[in-house]
Amino acid sequence: MTYKLYYAKKTASMGIRVILEELQAPYQLIDSTVDRSLPRPAKQVAVNPNGWLPVIEWDSGAMYEAAAITIFLCDRHSEAGLAPKFDTPERGIYLQTLVYFSNSVQNAFQLTYYPDRFADTKEHEASAQSRGIRRLRETWQVIDDQIGSNHWTLGEQFSAVDIYLFMLTTWLRQYLGHPDVNEFPNVKRIADKVLLRPSVQAVYQSWIANPEY
Ligand SMILES: N[C@@H](CCC(=O)N[C@@H](CS)C(=O)NCC(=O)O)C(=O)O
C-alpha cells in the first residue's frame, strides 16, 4: 500500500514526508501549491474543503490536519517507535504537545503569515501581525520551558514530536519579524539534532541550502 501525500515545499506536508521516511512507509508525492490563484488537485480539495496542505490518502481513507495525520501514521506503524505507547506518561505529553503545536504555535504563525484572515479591515492587519509575533514568542517559550534539560522533547526517547518541532522552526522568518530560534535554546538544541537525521537531510535539502528560501 502506497500513501499519497499532497505536497508543496515550505508547508507542513514536509514534516509528514519526514515521518513517512522515518516509518519507511511507501509514499507518492502529489504536487500541489498554497498559491490560491493556482489550481490544486481536485481530490485534495474534496478531502479538505479549506484547501490547505497537508492531505494524505491511503487505500481505505483520506484525512487532513498535520497533527492528526502524525498521530494516525505513527499509530498505524507503531513498530517504528515514533510514538510513546498508550499507557505511558509520555503518551499524554506527546498528544498534548502535538495539539499545542497545532492550535497555538501554528495559530501564531498564521496571524503573521495571513493577517487578513484575522482582521476585519486592512488597517487592523498590522495589529494582528504584531500580536502574532508576540504570540510566537509566548508559545515557543512554553515549549522551551517544557523541554528543559530533556534529551528530546518528551524525555529520553526520540519521537514524532521532535520532527514536528523541527518543521515548525523552519517556518521562523527574520524578514517577518519572527523571533530567532536562538531565543529558545532548548528548542534549538533539539532542532539541531533532528536536522542530522538522514530523513530530514533528504526532505529539507532546499531549506538547508537556504533557510529563508
Ligand atoms: N491546521 C492545519 C493548517 C494547515 C495549513 O495552514 N496549511 C498551510 C500550509 S502549511 C496551507 O495550506 N496554506 C494555504 C492557505 O492557508 O491558503 C494543519 O495543521 O494541517
How do residues 4-39 score in pLDDT, each as one tens digit? 999 999 999 999 999 999 999 999 999 999 998 999
Class of domain 89-209: mainly alpha
- Best mutation site among 13, 53, 70, 102 for ligand 1, i.e. most ligand atoms within 8 A of its Cβ? 53
Give the residue-averaged pLDDT of 61-66. Answer: 98
Grid cell for residue 132: 502574532
Q: Quote the mean pLDDT of the chain.
A: 97
Are the folds of 3-80 and 89-209 the same? no
Atom of ligand 1 nearest to the CA of 11: 10
Q: So where are the chain's domains?
A: 3-80, 89-209
For residue 182, give the DSSP letter: G
Ligand 1 atom closest to 10 (CA): 10
**Structure confidence at residue 96 (pLDDT):** 98
Would you state the torsion angle of the CA atoms of residues 126, 187, 12, 38, taken in this order, to the nearest 10 degrees? Answer: 40
C-beta of 66 in contact with ligand 1 (< 6 A):
yes
pLDDT per position as a tens digit, 162-194: 999 999 999 999 999 999 999 999 999 999 999
Alpha carbon of 52 to ligand 1 centroid (Å): 4
CA of 57 to the centre of ligand 1 (A): 17
pLDDT, position 212: 78
**Protein residue whose Cα sits closest to atom 14 of ligand 1:** 34
Q: SS3 sequence, 70-83?
A: HHHHHHHCHHHCCC
For residue 155, the one-letter residue type is G
pLDDT at 83 over 90: yes
Positive or negative CA dihedral for 139, 140, 142, 146? Answer: positive
**What's the CA-to-centroid distance between 105 and ligand 1, angstroms?**
13
Q: Residue 176 half-sphere exposure, CB side, CA atoms within 13 Å?
A: 22
| pLDDT above 90 (res 211) | no
For 142, half-sphere exposure in the C-beta direction (CA atoms, 13 angstrom radius) is 11
Spacing, Cα 66 to ligand 1 middle (Å): 9
Does the domain at residues 3-80 carry the CATH identifier 3.40.30.10?
yes
The pLDDT of 60-77, averaged and rounded, is 98
> How far does residue 134's CA lie from ligand 1's centre (Å)?
20
Q: Is the CB of 68 under 6 A from ligand 1?
A: no
Q: Is the pLDDT of residue 213 over 80?
A: no
End-to-end CA distance of the chain: 33
